[in-house]
């Protein structure tokens, strides 16, 4: 941030807005959490905070406690390279009980918590920051697909348009939302944010047109296939298709196995294979991960070497976390 911001802050009699603080921190390009009981502490110690952040290592997440007399403490609370979900969980664990203000930035994520809760009313919050928009507008290679999955999940959680596409006015998932509609949401996002070619219904078998994986990506260097599944509990879904979460995870792995074998036979093997699971149920994150691992362990003796040569992971997207306002 240029010195103009500092000069304006010094000369201003009013507090810097929450939005301006987020924008200022985000543009410094470091992973930081600033906690303070009063907003005016930030303006009073702006130069000290700026110097502290500039000296902070890029590889770490730094927590600055700012008081009336400046920075009271600075500690490292994690590594900046963790994925978005891990970052949110880390912040939630450490600051959910804090009654003051927390300004949080990392890799384009930018938001404020007050009283332990995210304040989504702030202009520029979360994905709306200019920093995140720049990141999202930079198309990624196939090798960066995990990062794009995380960005897509964030978009689902914080952009109302995704919620309105899938949910009715009663807060139920619409009956017409099936696998194809969910695949199309993901495919559209990938098409906008991935380099190269993004195809749907990509045929994996020369002799059977129906043997087609949901999404195929090719950036000219690496290739990936994605098999999309869904599982909605009936209390959240107006439709009448209530697949078991574990069953659909298994179905996705078995289909990916079949596609991997077909592609290998045609000498068209890809670099990455993912099962992408949209779900809405009452499982905790830990239970979801456990069920995925259990199904993987159950099937691994049945899966081919071609599956293991491409399979990276099962990605989950919980619709219960999607934005409603």
Contact 44, 68 (CB under 8 A): yes
Coil, strand or helix at 204: coil
pLDDT score recorded for residue 14: 40
Identify the CA nearest to 38 among candidates 108, 96, 90, 114. 114
What pLDDT, on a 0 to 100 scale, did the predictor assign at position 206?
A: 43
pLDDT digits (tens, 9 = 90+) for 77-99: 988 877 777 888 888 889 988 99
Q: Which H or E run contains 136?
A: helix 130-136
Query: Beta strand pairing status for 212-218 and 60-67?
Result: unpaired
d(CA 161, CA 126): 15
* Assigned architecture for domain 3-136: 3-Layer(aba) Sandwich (3.40)
Lowest mean pLDDT among 28-32, 63-67, 170-174, 292-296: 28-32
Identify the band that residue 12 occupies on the pLDDT scale cut at 50, 70 and 90. very low
Predicted confidence (pLDDT) per residue in 187-224, tens digit: 999 998 898 888 775 555 444 444 567 899 998 889 99
- The helix/strand/coil state of 309 is helix
Query: Of the given ranges (113-122, 134-143, 287-296, 300-309), which has the lowest mean pLDDT?
Result: 134-143
> For residues 324 and 139, which has the higher predicted lDDT (pLDDT)?
139
Give the residue extent of every domain in the chain: 3-136, 142-321
Same fold for the domain at 3-136 and the one at 142-321? Answer: no
Residue 133 has pLDDT above 70, yes or no: no
- Residue 82 in 3-state DSSP? coil
Does pLDDT of 1 surpass 70? no
pLDDT greater at residue 276 or residue 86: 276
pLDDT digits (tens, 9 = 90+) for 228-245: 999 999 999 998 888 899
Q: Which helix (H) or strand (E) holds 42?
A: helix 40-44
Give me the percent of the chain exceeding a pLDDT of 70.
Answer: 85
How buried is 324 (Cβ within 10 angstroms: 0-12 exposed, 13-18 middle, 19+ buried)?
exposed
The CATH number of 142-321 is: 3.40.91
Does the structure show a pLDDT above 50 at 323? yes
Question: How many whole angstroms from its chain centre is CA 6?
Answer: 33
Pair 190, 219: CB distance under 8 Å: no
Q: What pTM, to 2 d.p., does this model score?
A: 0.60
Distance CA 218, CA 224 (A): 7
Per-chain mean pLDDT for the chain: 84
């Amino acid at each position: 941030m240029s010195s103009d911001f500092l000069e304006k802050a010094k000369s201003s009699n009013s507090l810097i807005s929450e939005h301006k603080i987020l924008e200022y921190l985000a543009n410094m390009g470091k992973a930081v959490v600033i906690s303070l009981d009063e907003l005016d502490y930030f303006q009073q110690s702006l130069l000290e905070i700026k110097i502290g952040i500039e000296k902070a290592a890029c590889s770490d997440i730094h927590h600055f406690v700012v008081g009336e007399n400046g920075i009271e403490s600075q500690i490292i609370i994690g590594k900046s390279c963790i994925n978005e979900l891990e970052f949110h969980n880390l912040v939630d664990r450490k600051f959910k009980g804090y009654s003051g203000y927390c300004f949080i930035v990392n890799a384009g994520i930018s938001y404020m918590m007050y009283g332990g809760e995210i304040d989504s009313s702030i202009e520029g919050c979360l994905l709306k920051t200019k920093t995140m928009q720049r990141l999202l507008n930079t198309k990624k290679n196939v090798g960066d697909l995990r990062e794009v999955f995380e960005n897509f999940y964030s978009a689902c959680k914080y952009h109302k348009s995704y919620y309105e596409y899938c949910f009715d006015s009663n807060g139920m998932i619409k009956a017409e939302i099936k696998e194809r509609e969910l695949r199309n949401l993901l495919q559209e996002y990938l098409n906008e944010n991935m380099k190269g070619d993004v195809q749907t219904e990509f045929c994996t078998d020369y002799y059977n047109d129906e043997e087609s994986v949901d999404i195929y990506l090719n950036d000219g260097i690496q290739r990936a296939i994605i098999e999309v599944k869904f599982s909605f509990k009936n209390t959240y879904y107006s439709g009448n298709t209530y697949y078991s979460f574990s069953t659909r995870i298994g179905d996705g792995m078995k289909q990916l196995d079949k596609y991997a074998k077909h592609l290998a036979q045609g000498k068209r093997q890809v670099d990455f294979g993912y099962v992408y699971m949209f779900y809405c149920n009452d499982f905790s994150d830990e239970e979801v991960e456990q069920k995925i691992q259990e199904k993987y362990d159950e099937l691994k003796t049945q899966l081919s070497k071609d599956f293991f040569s491409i399979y990276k992971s099962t990605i989950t997207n919980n619709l219960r976390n999607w934005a409603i306002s």
